[in-house]
Structure 1
Amino acid sequence: MVELLPLSDIEPQAVEELLDAAFGADRFGRTAYRIRAGAAAVPALSFALVEDGALVGTIQCWPVAHCAADGTATPLVMVGPVAVRPDLQRGGHGRVLMTHMLAAAEDGADGALMMIGDPEYYGRFFGFDADATAAWNLPGPFEQRRLLARAVNGHGLPTGAGMIGPR
């Protein structure tokens, strides 16, 4: 039996072990971790996928902001990581997590969504693209084409230059 649960219902150590298995213990050096440094995940948009009592996947979302040169800060929600146990990857679990999070975001996100991800996958299946992000910057290395965004819950995307960071 597969269940989607609030991530807050899951033991934090189990989540960390899944993230290590999916992304490696060196994951903390990635730019995405710099962006959300010091922030707590958004409970209403962060979920766990549990199958037969075992944690098989998670999705987390984070409060971030686009900060323009003039000081204007536009709230955004950073999606990720989307993690699935390595032996179950490519089995549709990530899609289930993304679909569930997007449904929750349609009513509960306090900003548009952004992520660092594969544009072919997240564009095709979930409507993310890099159209608005060409002038955005991140606090570390990244591939511009992988900086994706999507409007949601009536929140538009900032299109001008700006740095993405925690809010």
Structure 2
Amino acid sequence: MIAFVPLSTVDGAAVEALLDRAFGSDRHARTAYKVRGDAAPLAGLSLAARDDDVLIGTVQCWPIHLHGDDGRRYDLVMIGPVAVEPERQRDGIGRQLMMQALAAAKVEGSDGALMLIGDPEYYGRFFGFDATHTGGWRLPGPVERHRLLARGDDVPAVAGMLGPVVTAPT
């Protein structure tokens, strides 16, 4: 039976190894990594799937900002990556992880402005994400525009640059 647990309870090396198997070891060069920067994933929204205590999937969610050309800063939650063991990728685990993360975001009240980079047919059909408000968004690297998706009542339909939440050094 699959159990969903907080990602923080899983060994970080095991998570990194799963991400390498799912996306390749060159994944750190992707634009999504630049958008989220060095921030820690949001603990309440980032989950792992285990089957008989074996890690088979993860979803990570990140605090990011849209630095609007209007001078405002908009808070968003970036979902992804959703990683599943390659031999289990047709078992519905990714969809279950997304449903768990979206439910957690609703409980926490952080579901008003969610975004991700992904397949519009899949994320639109099952989770209501679309590119309606993302046309003016810029990223610190290449992206296929139709894959820049968002959902929520607070998603800003403004031009601006997506980037990490930067905190002042302590």
TM-score after normalising by structure 2: 0.94
How far apart are the structure 1 equivalents of 2:107 and 2:52? Answer: 29
Letter in 2 for 1:91: D
Measured against aligned partners, the alpha-carbon deviations of 1:4-56 in whole angstroms (never above 9, x if no partner) come to 00000000000000000000000000000001111110000000000011000
Partner in structure 2 of residue 158 of structure 1: 156
- RMSD (Å), alpha carbons: 0.9
The answer as to whether partners of 1:84 and 1:94 remain within 8 angstroms in 2 is yes
Work out the percentage of aligned pairs sharing the same amino acid. 56
Provide Cα deviations, 1:48-77, integer angstroms capped at 9, x if missing partner: 000011000000000001111232101000
What runs of 5+ residues in structure 2 fail to find an aligned partner? 166-170
Name 2:147's counterpart in structure 1. 146
Could you list the structure 1 runs, at least 4 aligned residues long, displaced by more than 6 angstroms after superposition.
Answer: none
In 2, distance between residues paired with 1:26 and 1:39? 19
- 1:77, 1:109 within 8 Å by CA — same for their partners in 2? no
Match of 2:35?
Answer: 35
Cα distance, 1:108 vs structure 2: 1.2
TM score, norm. by length of structure 1: 0.96
| Runs of at least 5 residues in structure 1 that lack an aligned partner in the other structure | none
Which residue in the other structure is 1:88 paired with? 88
**Map of 1:11-160 to 2, 5 A cutoff?**
11-110=11-110, 111-151=112-152, 155-160=153-158
